[in-house]
Chains A and B, each alone.
Chain A
Amino acid sequence: MTLKEAIERLGLHVLTSEEVGDAKVTGGYTCDLLSNVMANCKTGNLWITMQTHQNVLAVAKLKDLAGIIFVNSRQPDEETIQKANEEHVTVLNTDESAFSISGQLYQLLKEP
């Protein structure tokens, strides 16, 4: 599953301006504690969170994540979006809850 496909199938809003590439989504991880994400998230994962602090970008870069999904329509500030563009981190959001979007992504990744 590519990131592009995942965005289409889950109806995610893309908040960054860079075109989404064909990066592969290797899995998902749902957590709001950045210390835990740094310890457990895997390369290529889509990270689901409601934590919108700018530190999320450094974590996404560090772990080479496919992207970040902010849940419950959470919107990071302008500065964070701008920095995400500069750092080439794909930032997304959804109106759905973390539970719901995690379930949907899980199902999607199980498809043969």
Chain B
Amino acid sequence: MLKDYKADLHIHTCLSPCAEVRMSPATIVKRSKACGVNMIGICDHNSAENNHATLEAARRYGVHVLPGMEVTSLEEVHILALFDTLEPVLQFQEMVYQKLPGENDEETYGMQVIANADDEVLGFNQKLLIGATTLSVEKIVNKIRSLGGLAIAAHIDRESFSLISQLGFIPDNLALDALEISPALSYEDAVRRYSPSLPLIHSSDAHKEEEIGRCCTHFLIDEANIGEIRKALRGQEGRKILR
């Protein structure tokens, strides 16, 4: 039966150097539950190392987690990658890590905490997660799609790190599933401004606990998975986005 899933598909954990340390996997899941968000996407910058813990924490609270990543392309465009399970995102991470130069400087950029589902610190990621990979947007999107994931251009209305700021317009032949708009822009204004040829989603891009669920997309779908979301984005078999 089709149900209304309230989804916040772009949330950072304490692994992202720019996110609050309080954003542990357990905190995110609890807060999502409390806000009535029943499907979340975990999208840390260029890493998926807190996905496992979030999936585990989510099982205790009945929130659906889509493992993911917010990857930075060569052109400094942010792309969201979302998957059904851990395996493809870890495969994706392997490619990203090979093409991500630099080392983090905690003093300058912030801590990159790897946590477990019980709010314990397992370690610190040393890579320069705030940096850019040497992968083009095309390579990134094609890899996500070949692994069965959703490829979404992040916060296209932002003046930095967005597909539109960096590349002026959405490149032809880029196999994106959707475009994300930030909480700063309403759906109606986004439609007016971009006349988008791709479906729009809204998410919080939460870096702080109180930002979780501030902006969501409602999907009318049968189950919380990538295939159902893809159908909703395309308006197939009665699945759709509820505005």
Cβ-defined contact, B137 with A58, below 8 A: no
Q: How far is B159's CA from A27's CA once the two chains are assembled, in angstroms? A: 25
Binary flags per residue of A38-60, CB closer than 8 Å to B gives 1, else 0: 10000000000001011100110
Cβ-defined contact, A34 with B166, below 8 A: yes
With A53-B75, A53-B136, A53-B137 known to touch, is A37 a contact of B168 (CB < 8 Å)?
Answer: yes
- Other-chain contact of A35, B136, B137, B165, B171 (Cβ < 8 Å): B165
Q: How far is B167's CA from A51's CA once the two chains are assembled, in angstroms? A: 9
**B interface majority secondary structure:** loop
CB nearest neighbor in A for B164: A35
- Other-chain contact of A53, B159, B164, B165, B171 (Cβ < 8 Å): B171
CB nearest neighbor in A for B162: A35
Interface positions of B from 53 to 93, Cβ below 8 Å from A? 75
Q: How far is B169's CA from A37's CA once the two chains are assembled, in angstroms? A: 12
Contacts of A35 in B (CB 8 A): 159, 164-168
| Nearest CB of chain A from residue B95's CB, rounded to whole Å | 18
| Nearest CB of chain B from residue A61's CB, rounded to whole Å | 12
| Nearest CB of chain B from residue A71's CB, rounded to whole Å | 15
CB nearest neighbor in B for A39: B168
CB nearest neighbor in B for A59: B168
Q: How far is B172's CA from A58's CA once the two chains are assembled, in angstroms? A: 11
Interchain residue pairs with CB less than 8 A apart (17): A32-B166, A33-B165, A34-B165, A34-B166, A34-B167, A34-B169, A35-B168, A36-B165, A37-B168, A38-B168, A51-B166, A51-B167, A53-B136, A55-B167, A55-B168, A58-B168, A59-B168
Interface residues of A (CB under 8 A from B): 32-38, 51, 53-55, 58-59
